[in-house]
Structure 1
Amino acid sequence: MNPYPQKKVITFNKHTDDFHFNVNYAELDHIPSNELAYIGSTNLSQVVLSGVGSALAKHQGENVEHKGIKAHFNMDDSGILNLVNVEFVAEKTVTESDDDSTLSKLGSTISKLFSSDAEDAEKKDENAEDKSAEASAEKNETKANETTTEKQNATEPEVKPKPKIVTLKEPIKSEEQVITLQPLSTDEFKASKAKITELNSIDKKRTERETALNNLEAFAVDTLMKMDMDEFSECATPEVVEEIKKLCADVSEWLYEDGYDSETELFEKKLAEIQEKTNPLFYKHWEHMERPDAIKAMKNMLNHSQEFLKTSKNFTKEANSEKDIFTDVEIGLLEKKITESESWLEKSIEEQNALKKSDDIKLTVESIREKMGGIDREVKYLLNKMKIWRPKKPVKKETENKTEEVVIEKEEKVEESQEEKPVEAETEKEEEVTEPPLQIGDAEVKDEHSEL
């Protein structure tokens, strides 16, 4: 998919010594004579080759075929033809020798014989009693091997080795002399670079001027069309609308008569005058168009915040002692923020509806966003606190520890007193603890308790 060939190879077959050749434009008959004059000289370069005879003499023989001297050219992305290299090319036919194949076959046969002898020697060492039988078997095997090899050699057809073609390349020294396109000197390069920079700046200024002209013309025409629409004309007083129409009409008339030849700065100045006059009108129109969506978004946020507030009240210390995530102060701040925002929104909507579209705006989209941001911060704070909240671990009080120590000390004292008392006292105490409650007529029990 290249627009022109990028590589070219020229082959010289008849030269046997050093020579030179010229590179020229060819097939220019289709170009008119007046255009050929702009091309100038059709001779591009001259290439001088040396070392041709020595390269040919190095590769001689019956099996060597000369393919000539090949000059490789390459055309870069700028369309300039460059000489890459020059080389002598020859092809040599190489075949495998029969001696090598015969020796390889003999070597394989001898290796087989040696391998069979080694195996037989191992068997002889292991079975010393059957030496005679093994010797006869060995002779039979060798004879069989000899007969089989002879049969194979007799039956196998002669295979002729295939010839191989090897390409030989020898570099040729070359010198290229460019005739038409000489490299730039230092001064010429600087001058060319300065000229390109100047052309770029001219293009940049031209683009800026055209952009300013198009912006002014488009804005004036678009504003005139919008002033005839009710949704825009209602956002300003009739006097302001007429003044804007007159200004846009004057600018359009000036452009069509003699304004196209003006400078960029004048176009930008005219555009700034119209924008300064129309910005308040377009701002009011934008506010009236965007306000319903902003009010709807705030009401949705207030509804969601109310639901979240109801849920959050269940996670206070009074409602749920185990999950006391929020404090009363935090709940009160969110409730206060929601209540204030609702009352502010209702009051602002009433005030704004009482005004005309051309009056100054009371309920702006930015003020609604600020109120929504305040509610959003409070809700996010409580949500983050709920995410990081963890139940408290039960901690033993100091009073409980003290009571446990007192109980332990009392038990130790009781045990010491029990060890000091005689055995009879212990039995009496056990009877006292384990006997059933007193019954009427039990005189012995009554006497025992009276004694105690």
Structure 2
Amino acid sequence: MNPYPQKKVITFNKHTDDFSFNVNYAELDHIPSVELQYIGALNLTEVVLSGVGDALSKHTGDNVEHKGIKAHFNLDDSGILNLVNVEFVAEKTVTEDPDESTMAKIGSTISKLFGSEAETLEKPDEKPEENPQEDSQNKTDKPNETSTEKQNTTEPETKPKPKIVVLKETIKSDEQILNLKPLSPDQLSQSKAKIAELNAIDRKRTERETALNNLEAFVVDAQMKVDMEEYAVCGTEEQITEIKKICSETSEWLYDDGYEAATEVFEEKLASLRDKTHPIFYKHWEHSERPDAIAAIRNMLNNSKEFLKMSKNFTKELNSEKDVFTEVEIGVLEKKITETEGWLNTSIKEQKALKKNEEIKLTVESIREKMTNLDREVKYLLNKLKIWRPKKPVKIETENKTEEVVSEPKESKENGETQEIPVTETEEITVEETEAKEEEEILQLGEGKDEHSEL
């Protein structure tokens, strides 16, 4: 619901030529006379209309009724009244042409006539059996049909209803604002500069209030924390005493001389107070977060050990069919688990031997780094297990048997190093090749025997 009407229409019925009208404030009796002077001029705008006589002369006649000239106003969200448009409105009564209606009726009857003839032509020529009783009935029905036709011809025809058409024509209007004149270019630039200056003042005020609130909140928070035992044990007596002294001095300064200080002063005092309290607050955070970090890395170590135990079953020595991992890869993971576990146990012992206000040996960041390194090794083997596929068997054909041998990587030694050469193509030995080799061997043996007999 709108608190006030946003649209207003003023209708002028008696004007037949160009005229002008004013828009004023009305019904101001409830406002005291002292406050009326602050409103200013009560006359808001003056509107001059032209072309009224021409619009009236265009729309004249017995069937035309003038509804007057209507001025449409709109009240925007800022409460400013604006003239939308001015238009001349008339209503014209229009009736249907009887000639057109009769021609339409004739056209419809002709279409029905041709439609009935086409239907009769489509029907097959079938002569029904003649019954004397039906003929007598048809003869008796003919007088009734003629009587109904006469009644239909005597009925009066219905007259068409008149239609009302609304005619509108725009009237040229010239609006002059009287209470508030538009600004000149110089005044507009001055107003923009003033608004920018006010925005800068508001921004500086907001920054100063924010800095003051941050300093007050930090002083109160620091005073409460250093009085707590869990924070006090994280610092030395000298540090706690110094922080309490700075907080009390800052609090007194804020409520006495510092309330009107500049923004930079608040920010400097807040930065110096944070530097003093940071070591204690950081140590307290480390001691409170360390148990969760240790529990997380121990859980990762247990999972890594289980994965290592399972991975050893997928090596060539234990499972020749599923040799997913090599001994080097298993050894790297096992070494990483051992190193991480040993480092964790040693660091925990060293940290327990220290006081809470001393330098921290086992930090949360170092635990996260060790977890990242261990997780990288486990993920490497896990991804290799996912993409592993069994090796294809190699078919070897002999005289009467076909053997399937799993292709294994061949080894070649160069310079004392062993290199693995994978078999990429299957080797097939046919029966003809084996027979040819046997015949060659027999011939060689026979030649050797002849030479020996001659000797």
What is the TM-score normalised by the length of structure 1?
A: 0.81
3-state SS in 2 of match to 1:166:
strand
Q: Secondary structure at the match of 2:246?
A: helix
98-107 or 379-388, which moves further after superposition?
98-107
Q: Which residue of structure 2 aligns with residue 246 of structure 1? A: 245
Instruction: State the match for 2:59 in structure 1.
Output: 59
Distance change >3 Å, CA 240–CA 95, structure 1 → 2: same
Identify if the C-alpha distance between structure 1 residues 114 and 408 changes in structure 2 by more than 3 Å, giving closer, same or farther: same
Offset from partner CA, 1:156-182 (integer Å, 9 cap, x none): 564332232211101111111122223
1:266-345 alignment, distance < 5 Å: 266-345=265-344
Per-residue Cα deviation, 1:252-275 (whole angstroms, up to 9, x for no partner): 001111110011111111111111
Partner of 1:75: 75
CA gap 1:234/1:153 in 2 versus in 1, 3 angstroms: same
Paired residue total: 400
| CA–CA separation in structure 1 for the residues paired with 2:426 and 2:389 | 26
2:297 partner SS = helix
What is the distance in 2 between the residues matched to 1:205 and 1:302?
A: 55
Query: What is residue 47 of structure 2 aligned with on the other side?
Result: 47
CA distance in 2, matches of 1:305, 1:181: 81
Q: 1:249: Cα distance to partner?
A: 0.2
Work out the CA distance in 2 between the residues paired with 1:267 and 1:37.
Answer: 47
**Cα distance in 2 between the residues matched to 1:399 and 1:219:** 77
Determine the structure 1 residue equivalent to 2:434.
Answer: 407
Compared CA separation, residues 160 and 323, structure 1 to 2 (3 A): same
- 1:98 CA displacement: 3.8
Amino acid at match of 1:310: K
- Match for residue 227 of structure 1? 226
Query: Which range is displaced more, 60-69 or 39-48?
Result: 60-69
Residues 152 and 269 of structure 1: CA distance in aligned 2, closer, same or farther (over 3 Å): farther
Q: Is the 8 A contact 2:394 2:427 kept in 1?
A: no
Alignment check: 8 A CA contact 2:394 2:426 kept: no
Superposition deviation, residue 76 in structure 1:
2.7
Distance 2:89 2:257 in 1: 73
Q: Which amino acid is the alignment partner of residue 12 of structure 2?
A: F
2:411 maps to none
TM-superposition CA deviations, 1:118-148 (whole Å, max 9, x none): 666788xx97x9xxxxxxxxxx9xx99x959
AA aligned to 1:406 is E
Distance 1:317 1:3, change over 3 A: farther
Inter-partner Cα distance in structure 2 for 1:50 and 1:163: 33
- Residue 117 of structure 1: how far off its partner (Å): 4.9
* C-alpha separation in 2, matches of 1:400 and 1:211: 82
Q: Distance in 1 between the 2:76 and 2:158 partners? A: 52
Residue identity opposite 2:22 in structure 1: N
Aligned-partner Cα distance in 2 for 1:314–1:65: 104
Secondary structure at the counterpart of residue 218 of structure 1? helix
Q: Deviations over 1:42-83 (max 9, x none)?
A: 212111101111211222223222211111112233332221
Where do residues 47-446 of structure 1 align in structure 2 (5 Å cutoff)?
Answer: 47-117=47-117, 147=146, 150-151=149-150, 153-154=152-153, 158-395=157-394, 401=428, 404-407=431-434, 409=436
SS at match of 1:45: strand
Q: Cα–Cα, structure 1 residues 15 and 395, in superposed 2: closer, same or farther, change >3 Å?
A: same
1:322 Cα deviation (Å)? 1.8
Structure showing the higher strand proportion among its residues: 2
Letter in 1 for 2:107: G
Letter aligned with residue 268 of structure 1: E
> 3-state SS of the aligned residue for 1:260?
helix
Change (3 A) 1:150 1:291: same
From the superposition, tell whether residues 155 and 308 of structure 1 become closer, same or farther in structure 2 (CA, over 3 Å): farther
Q: Distance in 2 between matches of 1:342 and 1:121?
A: 106
Change (3 A) 1:151 1:376: farther
Given the superposition, is the C-alpha separation of residues 157 and 315 from structure 1 closer, same or farther in structure 2, using an over 3 Å criterion? farther
**Whole-Å Cα distance in 2 between the matches of residues 157 and 380 of structure 1?**
99
For 2:121 and 2:228, locate their aligned partners in 1 and report how far apart those are by CA, in whole Å. Answer: 118
Residue identity in the other structure for 1:36: L
TM-score normalised by the chain length of structure 2: 0.80
* Cα gap change, 1:112 to 1:234, in 2 (>3 Å): same
Q: Distance in 2 between matches of 1:169 and 1:177?
A: 24
Change (3 A) 1:148 1:245: farther
Letter in 2 for 1:348: S
Distance 1:318 1:180, change over 3 A: same
Check conservation: 2:94, 2:162, Cα contact below 8 A: yes
| Deviations 1:323-348, CA, capped at 9 Å, x for gaps | 21111111111111111111111111
Distance (whole Å) between structure 2 residues aligned to residue 328 and residue 233 of structure 1: 53
Q: Deviations over 1:218-257 (max 9, x none)?
A: 1111111111111111110112111100110000001111
1:183 is paired with a residue of what secondary structure?
coil
Identity %: 73
Secondary structure of the equivalent of 1:66? strand
Instruction: List runs of 5+ in structure 2 lacking aligned partners.
Output: 128-138, 396-406, 408-424, 441-455
Instruction: Name the aligned partner's letter for residue 184 of structure 1.
Output: L
